[in-house]
Structure 1
Amino acid sequence: MILLVGDKSRSDVVHAIAQVEPLLRELADVVVDTDGEHDLVANPPSLVINFGGDGSILRVAGRLGERQVPLLGVNFGKFGFLAEYELPELLVNLQNAVDGKLPTRQSLLLKVTVTHGDESIERIVVNDVVLQRAPDKRMSHVFTYYDDALLADYFGDGLILSTPLGSTAYNLAAGGALLHPELEAVILTPLCPHTLSLRPLVVPAGGVLKLKVEGDDSLALTMDGEGTTELRGGDSVEIREAATPLTLIAHPTRSYFDTLRLKFDWSKRTTVSRT
């Protein structure tokens, strides 16, 4: 079964799905989900085609949890870094998509466990986990451990923990390095640290990262840019590699580096006009 996902409030998305659906029904069983109510875990598809921007891909991957299936993104957003296909490109590649003949790129996901008071919640994260100081705090401490060994006390405005796929997002804007999406690693990038000795650090994804809040500190936690959870002294966040990676269907003629150049002007030389 192939699942077509989109936002029913977007007329352009609804029109695109209406254009693709009858063509796909000639090739496979199709289910359309425009309200986010399809249970992806109980009734997993063999392929998800997502019509939207990069943010909608993050949400779909989160809904899949640790039962990931190939995901093809059709760009109806502003940037289209993860959603690599435009609608005409999808239309000419429908048969190859159904037959599994398009290239794929696997990227690690993070399984995050948040212990907040007496409650514990779990979530799959695609891009990043961000802890930031509360607005009423001038500084905050994020005590960070790797496999139970103290890694650092990040003292400043906060900390970003990013996957390689998410390294082009908030991590990059905060001065972190780009990581190739197929690396199995996590990059920790401090936000405005109070010491110049704290710099972005890359660690293997096979270990367990634990972030602790102590004393009267208060931190705001966000995952993949959605929702905010307030953490206080005694709360913690545990981060490990998820059991299954994200599988994105890549563009058939563009490499990852081509996409960097196309979307970021990567390695492009700038010239200054002298008059």
Structure 2
Amino acid sequence: MKNIGINVNTTKDPDKKMLNFIKKTIHSIDKSVKVKVYENCDGLDKDESAKLDVIIVLGGDGTILNTSKHILDSNTPILGVNIGHLGFLAQVEVNSIENALKKLFNGNYVIEERNMIQCIYDDGNGPKTYDGLNDVVLYKGIKSRIQRYDVYINENFYNTFSGDGIIVSTSTGSTGYNLSAGGPIIYPSLDILCLTPMYSQFLTSRTIVLDNRCCITIAVRKNFKNIFLSIDGQEWIEVNGPNTIEVRRSKNKRKFIKFDDNNYFDTLKDKINFKAKEGEVYEGN
């Protein structure tokens, strides 16, 4: 490790105490390491990330997702440090940062690859492509009526859903918006896409789990306004129907630093079940 980037969410660490602690800890392990700091992804992109051995992300899951968006096509791994709410994607909690950094420099970690999702939407000026780590969401606005969505899988008609929207998530994103809408939790290494209707009028509307080689086409039936498309919750694009959205597996993958003592089921218990017992509202990632 000779070049390390730190992307910090300044709203989570406004006085830079955590940032400064991490920089100090890194240099106490190896004084020769070059550390470059990025605030809220400013200046961070694919070319910049190629100069780095790892990107340490300080924030919550939203900060990790935002970082992933900025370094699309990059092979540089991310190490998430949770200073947000739940931090389901983060490998490190604040009380174990020093130990985690020692493991990082000693090589006591593995690189975990997570599949990503791709959405193609034509806004009238030609098709635009968006990639995400968690999910693609098609959702009616607050002022919009219940919408009807025709869903096709590999060009074969699957079903029509009347409801608030449609979520297509990766296994990584299954613990986010998908879970809030009643979808299943899916083990993150599984190579799937999960399609979940949002608050449908029909009790028979259920999640379907698909091989992620499938191409999902969602057609908005009527010319309603205030229909929005979201990729990883990072931006909301207004879709004026009738329109068609295509969702499929992305060719990109996202690499994460993973330590041996990070057990997925412990994380699941700590981040979801335990928080629920404590009466906290689960916000997803």
Question: Contact 2:117–2:169 at 8 Å: present in 1 too?
Answer: no
Partner of 1:170: 177
- Choose 113-122 or 62-71, whichever is displaced more: 113-122
Q: Distance in 2 between matches of 1:144 and 1:74?
A: 38
Q: Distance in 2 between matches of 1:200 and 1:210?
A: 15
Stretches of structure 2 lacking an aligned partner (at least 5 in a row): 279-285
* Paired residue type of 2:108: K
Q: TM-score, normalised by structure 2?
A: 0.85
Q: TM-score, normalised by structure 1?
A: 0.88
2:39 is the counterpart of 1:34: yes
Question: Contact 1:62–1:123 at 8 Å: present in 2 too?
Answer: no
Match of 1:224 among 224, 232, 254: 232
- State how many pairs are aligned: 269
Q: Distance in 1 between matches of 2:22 and 2:142?
A: 47
- What secondary structure is seen at the aligned counterpart in 2 of 1:244? strand
2:9 is the counterpart of 1:7: yes
Match of 1:206 among 213, 216, 241: 213
- Where do 1:63-142 residues align within 5 Å? 63-142=70-149
Partner of 2:243: 235
Partner of 1:19: 21
Cα distance per residue 1:187-231 (max 9 Å; x no partner): 111112232222110011112222222332342222222332221
1:6 deviates by 0.1
Cα RMSD over matched residues?
2.4
Cα distance per residue 1:147-191 (max 9 Å; x no partner): 222222222221111111111111111111110011111111111
* Paired residue type of 1:135: I
Q: Distance in 2 between matches of 1:13 and 1:141?
A: 47
- Choose 162-171 or 39-48, whichever is displaced more: 39-48
Stretches of structure 1 lacking an aligned partner (at least 5 in a row): 271-275
Percent identity reads 26
Q: Distance in 1 between matches of 2:228 and 2:167?
A: 12
* Paired residue type of 2:109: L
Partner of 1:273: none
* Paired residue type of 2:240: R
Q: Distance in 1 between matches of 2:256 and 2:146?
A: 38
Q: In the superposition, relative to structure 1, how do residues 71 and 11 fare at CA in structure 2: closer, same or farther (>3 Å)?
A: closer
- What secondary structure is seen at the aligned counterpart in 2 of 1:229? strand
Q: In the superposition, relative to structure 1, how do residues 42 and 264 fare at CA in structure 2: closer, same or farther (>3 Å)?
A: same
Partner of 2:264: 256
Question: Contact 2:133–2:232 at 8 Å: present in 1 too?
Answer: yes
Q: In the superposition, relative to structure 1, how do residues 199 and 35 fare at CA in structure 2: closer, same or farther (>3 Å)?
A: closer
